[in-house]
Chain A
Amino acid sequence: MSFQDWIFALHLLTAATLVGGLVMSWIVLVAQRSADTADATLSLNRVAIVATGAVAVGLPGTIGLGIWLAILRPQLHPWHGWAIGAIVLWSIATAALLRSRVEYAKPIKKAKVLLESGETGPSAELTALNRTSTGLLLRALASAAIVLIVVDMIYKPGA
């Protein structure tokens, strides 16, 4: 395997970590919609942290190694249409994921407050925060952008 092959393999491994992290976060997100107690919310958050870690490794790894690869490969260039499209989609996905983290931090904060005050039963306010439509839409937007990046990387329109 050449150096370029290693960069390519690492690029796809970080991409798999990113998409894998997103799949994890979706499973947590769906489960979170039925969580109505502080304990259930915080226990789901333990898995959400692992998913966030995978996404945090995958996002910079994918773009950094991808651009490096486009520079190394003689027939690829970062200014090609499909590459620019991928960079734009990556920026949208990153911004949406960061913003959705803010939305999903709210129920965690609320759950901690409830636990500190000794309220362990179901909370309507916590349920509403767990079912945030803004967070869901942002996560859906980020996921759609990532799926489009995968399609763009495989079909490479214009290449």
Chain B
Amino acid sequence: MLAAIRPAGQDLPVLLHIVGATLAFGALLASASFIALARGQVRLLRLGYFSLLFVALPGWILMRVAGEWIYRKQGWSGLPNEFKHAAWLRIGFIVADGGGILFLVALVLGGIGVYRLRSGKSAQLLKLTMVIALALALAYVVAVWAMTGKPGQPSLGASAPTAPGAPAGNTATTVAVTANEFKFELSKTTLPHGNVIFTIVNKGKLAHDFSINGKTSSLVSPGKSTKLTVALKAGTFVYLCTVPGHAGAGMKGDLTVN
């Protein structure tokens, strides 16, 4: 499904991001398992630490670098705050960056723990490393859920929301919106203020939505249509498709309200 809603050219960074994340996830689990099941065996305790250092760390770096690459490719930094601070994206950044700091703490503690093993001291620090590794693995599960399920994003089949302050029966301006890969065509780009009914028709091959002034339509399947009613005061409003990568690929523009 991912590729079906992703513009071309973003596949490689997504592949690297996923490979890095799964490498880190697997190595974190391996590290925690080695330390938890070591039963005092120095060899297994060391393996636990080296899994973290030589597999999980490169995986984390690959995941983070590729994630940043996707962020830039999809043009998130150029979008209004309400989009670039989406909940699922924030969860991803918190887990990746906050997790990165925890990762470093685990590496330092584990390194000292392995050093202490040489002089026959206890493996308490490595047990702490194991707890952090397990916590990070759990955090990655939450991140995978957030990045894939994208809570807060419109879903296929959801009903189109109606803007508050747009009472039925009032005179409203109707704007026909045609969505395609990767652009919107609007029947009018200058409107009088008041209620505006956007009729969105998807003539593309991918699912799209339409978002303006904090209101977002349902996700529209190819060949389908939906409506979005929004109350607009005078000003200039950015409209865009909130499907990741689509606005960056060209599905955004400005609407002037007099």
Contacts and interface: CB of A to CB of B under 8 A. Distances in A.
Interface of A: 1-2, 4-6, 8-9, 11-13, 15-16, 19-24, 27-28, 31, 40, 43-44, 46-47, 50-51, 54, 69, 73-76, 150-151, 153-156, 159
A125 to B, nearest CB: 21
Given A5-B149, A13-B145, A154-B18, A20 B3 contact: no
16 contacts: A2-B156, A2-B157, A6-B149, A9-B145, A12-B144, A16-B22, A19-B22, A20-B29, A23-B27, A27-B30, A27-B51, A75-B207, A150-B19, A154-B2, A156-B4, A159-B3
A93 B89 CA distance: 33
Interface of B: 1-4, 11, 14-15, 18-19, 21-23, 25-27, 29-30, 33-34, 37-39, 41, 43-44, 47, 51, 55, 140-141, 144-145, 148-151, 155-158, 205-207, 221-222
Contacts of B1: 8, 69, 73, 76
Nearest to A44: B44
A4 B14 CA distance: 21
Contacts of B155: 1-2, 4-5
A16 B3 contact: no
Contact of A24 (B15, B33, B144, B150): B33
